[in-house]
Every structure is written in structure tokens, then in C-alpha cells.
Amino acid sequence: MTAPAAVITNPEEIAALVRESCHRGRTVGFVPTMGALHEGHASLAEAAAAECDDVAASIFVNPTQFGPHEDFARYPRALDADRRLLAARGVRWIFAPDVAAIYPPGHATRIVVDGPALPFEGALRPGHFSGVATVVQRLFAFVPAQRAYFGQKDWQQTLVVRRMVADLALPVTIVVRPTIREPDGLALSSRNAYLSAAERRRATGLSAALAAAARDWAAGAPVADIEGTMRRIIDDHGIAVDYAAVVERESLAPLADPAAPAVALVAGRLGTTRLIDNQLLDGRAGAA
């Protein structure tokens, strides 16, 4: 039997537990999440448990990272199942604050990151990355772990968090772990639960587009052709394309050197569900 993970709602209480562990010379790992957990989140907890002495995870559906017409109200919530999953993967403490604990009345400070937060998700979801940066900084203050674990699934988010950690000199190491996928390629996401059976079948268009991008990139295809192919595949699956781009991996700027390490980024909508995915592309020789 796995010991049940303690659920802590009070920021001062989790901060004291983590600090005490650090003072005893233990390494603490932290996995921030919005709950409705799946094997992607579980892989982050497992990596943290393998590399750290104690693991804390947070479950907080952060209102400030949702736009006014987005899915905050219907975002799935499943604390009991989440608690079991995290305990089984070696998580000791689950920080599950309510909104007032993170944003007390009168709170008036937000963090705004430029650079990697500006294009793609930043352009399509105004205020989203400011909400992410603001909550992640507060979570890091309440859970002062040495290492924090994020998924490559949200590649742009990892760049924004890394930028903020560097710019604010926060004492935490950011670890990025690979995307966990369904057998047919669909990246696991809490939002996959919104998909109808028909939409779920068509949702493979995103990962299929990325697989084609990886193949064509390695074969030396021009970036514009790769982007066109991705767009066509996504469109053929009945997904409304928000973007399908190959850009510089760290800055997300257009590729000045078509052989440099890159990332393919895709986003699209199936009905009312919006999904994103990405694929890292290694530097290649002799591309046009």
C-alpha cells in the first residue's frame, strides 16, 4: 500500500514543510499542475521522485491564465483520483490551495514576461503567460523546492518559466521532461476529455503533422514547405489551424539558419476544444 499523500491547502504550512526538509539536507522536487491528472503529469512526478528526496505537487486551476471566454469554469476537477495517482508516483505533499490563498484580496502584482511569451500562445491568448508567470512565481514562493518539473508538451510555457526564473534570479532549477502520448500519437492533455469520439479520432492530426515535419526536416525540406505540409495535414483532419510553424527552438523567432535546432509548434481547434503540441527538431546538415 502506498501512503496517502497529505493534501495541504495553507501556503504557510506547505512552505514550512518544504523548508524543514531542505534544512535537513534533503532535495525537494516540485510538480505544478492544474489537476485532472494523466500519465504526462505522472511522468513528471516519477522523474521528481527519482531525482529528489521529497516531492511536492500542486493542484490549482489558475483563473488568471484563462481568458474571459476560455474554459476555466468547465476545466475538469478530480482531486480524489489525482491524490491517488500522485501518491502512487511517490509524491509526499499535495498543495491544493483555494483561489483566495494564491490571490488574497487586494493582491495587485502581476508578472509580465516579454520575449518568448509574445508569439503563438501569447498572441492568441492575451494575458495567458502573465497569468502563468504570476502563479508559478507564487507557487515557487510557497513551495521553495530546489527543482521544478515541467512538460515539453507546453514548450513555450517552459521557455517563459525559464526566462522568468533567470530574470528574477529565482533559486530553482527547471527540469523539462518529454511529452507522453497515446499509442496513436495524441499528446496526453486534461483537455482531451472534452473531445467527442469523432473529435478524438481526428485529434491525431496534430501529432501526424509533427511526425511529417520531423521526417521532412531530417530530409532537408525548406521550412515553408514543412509548414505548408503541417497545415494541410491538420486541416485534412478537420482541425481549425491556429498556427503550424517551424521556428528557432529557444527564442521562437523565425529561423535565420534553416539548419539550426528548431521546434515545430502546432495549435488547432476541434469544436470548442483547443489543443497544442510540438516537436523538437535537431540541427541538420546542409538544409536549403
Q: How many residues bind ligand AMP, per CB under 6 A?
A: 17
The Cβ-side half-sphere exposure at 153, using a 13 Å CA radius, reads 23
User: How, if at all, do strands 147-151 and 28-33 pair?
Assistant: parallel
Cα distances (Å, whole numbers) of residue 178 to 8, 154, 283 = 28, 10, 18
Interaction between residue 180 and ligand AMP (CB under 6 A): yes
128 is catalytic: no
Binding mask 101-140 for ligand AMP (x = CB under 6 A): ----------------------------------------
Q: Taking contact as CB under 6 A, which single stretch among the options 107-115, 175-183, 201-209, 237-245 is the one that binds ligand AMP?
A: 175-183
Binds ligand AMP by CB under 6 A, chosen from 5, 11, 30, 43: 43
What is the rounded CA–CA span in Å between residue 187 and residue 149?
Answer: 18
Taking CB under 6 A as the rule, does residue 187 contact ligand AMP? yes
The set of cell numbers assigned to 1 is 500500500
Among 34, 91, 234, 244, binds ligand AMP (CB under 6 A): 34
Secondary structure in 3-state letters for 82-135:
HHHHHHHCCCCEEECCCHHHHCCCCCCCCCCCCHHHCCCHHHHCCCHHHHHHHH
The answer to whether residue 153 forms part of the interface with ligand AMP (CB under 6 A) is yes
Residues 76 and 117 sit within 8 Å (Cβ to Cβ): no
Q: Which residue of 11, 29, 40, 97 would you call a contact of ligand AMP, by CB under 6 A?
A: 40
Nearer to ligand AMP, 128 or 221 (CB): 128
Pairing mode of beta strands 93-95, 6-8 = parallel
From 70-78, 79-87, 145-153, 164-172, span contacting ligand AMP (CB under 6 A): 145-153
The residue (of 180 and 260) whose beta carbon lies closer to ligand AMP is 180
How far apart CA 113 and CA 117 sit, in angstroms, is 6
Beta-strand pair 273-281/262-270: antiparallel
Query: CA-based Rg of the chain, rounded to a whole angstrom?
Result: 19
Strand partners, 4: none
Residue 136 C-alpha from the chain's centroid: 12
DSSP 27: -
Confirm or reject binding of residue 95 to ligand AMP (CB under 6 A). Answer: no
Residues 232-261, interacting with ligand AMP (CB under 6 A): none
Annotated active-site residue in 41, 69, 107, 128: 41
Residue 89 touches ligand AMP, criterion: CB under 6 A: no
Question: Is the CB of 138 or the CB of 177 nearer to ligand AMP?
Answer: 177
Is residue 194 near ligand AMP by the rule CB under 6 A?
Answer: no
Backbone phi, then psi, for 224, in 5-degree steps? -60, -35
Contacting ligand AMP (CB under 6 A), which of 41, 89, 138, 163? 41
* Choice from 60, 93, 129, 150 touching ligand AMP (CB under 6 A): 150
Minimum separation from the CB atom of position 158 to ligand AMP (A): 7
Partners of 278 in the β-ladder: 265
Binding site for ligand AMP (CB under 6 A): 33-34, 40-41, 43-44, 150-151, 153-154, 177, 179-180, 187-190
Q: Which residues are catalytic?
A: 41
